């Protein structure tokens, strides 16, 4: 990790070492895992899973994944036990650690809009480019030539713009595609909801890469740290930038070290009290 970044992160990591519990909120695609043209093969960067596994096993950190994917999509890619809590579809869906899922309640207007968006793809013979989720449809053009991607985007938007307008759905560009979805939630809402359930004293961090993570970065302001994880820096509201995979792995290692230090600190206290 660049020494200046490590120095900037040090005060936060100290709070992690000193706290009883900490929260690590992470996006999945582009953050923990490099992009893959086959989405079901987008496994995390080598080294990420063992470190996250150790962090979870240490017991002081709640790891929560907040992804644009559906929750069940993330599980086979991020094989960690016990399974972390997962918020899917930008927070429209929530799967708790016991596997129970809270599904979005979508109103009729939203559902009809999604049906129309799907019909439009059928009409344009573009269904094979789509990923269907509860509350959203995403079109992916990763791996296509720039020209093909632009053509695909134009054809999709030709129908979706109007549909989004009359049905109140959101159109959302992301890295490698576009999505039409229920407007009830974004990652910022997910982060705010999650943080409202835990003690304000609990150190928290959010790691993300995409434009859709910016609302989550903003939601962390005054509450914890926000980290852009991306090979190249871009304009962002995140406080820190880590270049994956190396600096991401360094960060996770430092986090784990902070949690382990806490254990030492704790047993030292216990010894002092008992002695
Ligand atoms: Mg991402």
pLDDT, tens digit (0-9, with 9 covering 90-100), for 150-174:
999 999 999 999 999 999 999 999 9
Q: What is the pLDDT of residue 268?
A: 52
Q: Is the dihedral of CA 148, 179, 220, 194 positive or negative?
A: negative
| d(CA 273, ligand 1 centre) in Å | 46
Give strand pairing partners of 181: 136, 170
* pLDDT band of 244, cuts 50, 70, 90: very high
Residues 181/89, Cβ–Cβ less than 8 Å: yes
Q: What is the pLDDT of residue 241?
A: 98
What is the C-alpha radius of gyration for the chain, rounded to an integer number of angstroms?
20
Among 137, 130, 30, which Cα is nearest to 92's?
A: 137
| d(CA 266, ligand 1 centre) in Å | 36
Among 118, 22, 32, which Cα is nearest to 68's?
A: 32
| d(CA 153, ligand 1 centre) in Å | 19
**Across residues 237-259, what is the average pLDDT?**
97
| d(CA 264, ligand 1 centre) in Å | 35
The token duo for 87 is: 């918020």
Q: What is the pLDDT of residue 107?
A: 81
Q: Fold for domain 108-181?
A: Alpha-Beta Plaits (3.30.70)
**Locate tokens 């939203």: which residue?**
110
pLDDT digits (tens, 9 = 90+) for 113-131: 999 999 999 999 999 999 9
Q: What is the pLDDT of residue 90?
A: 86
- Which residues are within 8 A (CB) of 112 and not within 5 positions of it... i.e. 6 or more apart? 167
| d(CA 34, ligand 1 centre) in Å | 9
- Spatial distance between the Cα atoms of 238 and 241, rounded to a whole number of angstroms: 7
| d(CA 66, ligand 1 centre) in Å | 9
Give strand pairing partners of 94: 87, 102
Residue 85 vs residues 63, 78, 101, 148, 226: alpha-carbon distances, Å:
7, 12, 10, 37, 19
Would you say residue 63 has pLDDT above 80?
yes
Q: What is the pLDDT of residue 102?
A: 85
Would you say residue 264 has pLDDT above 90?
no
| d(CA 195, ligand 1 centre) in Å | 20
| d(CA 107, ligand 1 centre) in Å | 27
* pLDDT band of 222, cuts 50, 70, 90: very high
| d(CA 48, ligand 1 centre) in Å | 15
| d(CA 209, ligand 1 centre) in Å | 5
Q: Flag the least confident range among 134-148, 174-188, 248-262.
A: 174-188
Q: Flag the least confident range among 53-67, 95-109, 186-200.
A: 95-109
| d(CA 207, ligand 1 centre) in Å | 9
| d(CA 27, ligand 1 centre) in Å | 5
- Spatial distance between the Cα atoms of 223 and 200, rounded to a whole number of angstroms: 7
| d(CA 35, ligand 1 centre) in Å | 9
Q: What is the pLDDT of residue 239?
A: 97
Would you say residue 271 has pLDDT above 60?
no
Q: What is the pLDDT of residue 134?
A: 79
| d(CA 274, ligand 1 centre) in Å | 48
Predicted TM-score of the model (pTM)? 0.80
- Spatial distance between the Cα atoms of 153 and 56, rounded to a whole number of angstroms: 40
Would you say residue 91 has pLDDT above 90?
no
Q: What is the pLDDT of residue 275?
A: 43
The token duo for 138 is: 């995403």
- Which residues are within 8 A (CB) of 75 and not within 5 positions of it... i.e. 6 or more apart? 83, 86
pLDDT digits (tens, 9 = 90+) for 8-52: 999 999 999 999 999 999 999 999 999 998 889 999 999 999 999
Give strand pairing partners of 64: 25, 85
Q: What is the pLDDT of residue 263?
A: 63
């Amino acid at each position: 990790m660049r020494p200046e970044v490590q120095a900037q992160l040090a005060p936060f990591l100290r709070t992690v070492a000193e706290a009883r519990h900490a929260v690590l909120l992470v996006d999945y695609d582009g953050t923990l895992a490099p992009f893959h043209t086959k989405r079901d093969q987008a496994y995390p960067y080598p080294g990420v899973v063992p470190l996250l596994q150790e962090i979870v096993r240490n017991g002081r950190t709640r790891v929560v994944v907040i992804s644009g994917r559906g929750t069940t999509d993330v599980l086979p890619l991020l094989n960690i036990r016990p399974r972390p809590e997962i918020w899917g579809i930008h927070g429209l869906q929530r799967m708790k650690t016991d596997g129970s899922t809270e599904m979005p309640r979508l109103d009729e207007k939203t559902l009809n809009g999604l049906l129309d968006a799907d019909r439009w793809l059928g009409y344009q013979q573009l269904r094979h480019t789509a990923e269907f989720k509860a509350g959203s449809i995403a079109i992916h053009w990763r791996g296509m030539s720039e020209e093909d991607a632009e053509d695909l985007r134009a054809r999709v938007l030709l129908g979706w713009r109007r549909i989004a307008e009359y049905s109140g759905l959101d159109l959302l560009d992301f890295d490698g595609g576009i999505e039409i979805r229920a407007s009830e939630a974004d990652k910022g809402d997910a982060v705010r909801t999650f943080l409202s359930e835990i003690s304000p004293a609990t150190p928290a961090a959010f790691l993300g890469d995409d434009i859709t993570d910016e609302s989550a970065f903003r939601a962390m302001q005054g509450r914890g740290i926000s980290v852009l994880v991306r090979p190249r820096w871009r304009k962002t509201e995140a406080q820190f930038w880590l270049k994956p995979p190396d600096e991401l792995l360094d960060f996770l290692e430092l986090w784990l070290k902070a949690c382990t230090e806490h254990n030492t600190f704790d047993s030292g206290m216990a010894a002092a009290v008992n002695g």
